[in-house]
Amino acid sequence: MSSFNALLLGISDDLTGEQLKKLMFLCRDMVGKREAEKITSGVQLFLCLTERGELKQDKTESLSQLLRQINRDDLADKLDNFHTLDECKNNQPCPTEKAKLDIATDVIAENLGRTWRTLGRKLGLTESKLDSVAGRYPPDLEETARDLLKVWRKSRGAEAHTEDLIKALRACQQNLTADKVEDRIAHVGHEDGREDLTNE
Write out pLDDT tens, residues 53-111.
888 887 888 888 889 999 998 888 888 777 555 544 556 667 788 888 999 999 999 99
The count of other CB atoms within 10 Å of the CB of residue 27 is 22
Alpha helices in 52-126 (DSSP H): 61-69, 73-88, 95-111, 116-122
Contact of 65 with 132, CB cutoff 8 Å = yes
Contact of 4 with 86, CB cutoff 8 Å = yes
- Each of the 200 residues of the chain gets a pLDDT tens digit; together they read 577 888 889 898 999 989 988 988 888 888 877 777 788 888 888 888 888 888 888 788 888 888 999 999 888 888 877 755 554 455 666 778 888 899 999 999 999 888 899 999 999 988 888 988 888 877 888 999 999 999 998 888 888 889 999 999 999 999 999 999 999 988 876 555 444 433 43
Rounded Cα distance between 73 and 71, Å, is 6
Contact of 5 with 24, CB cutoff 8 Å = no
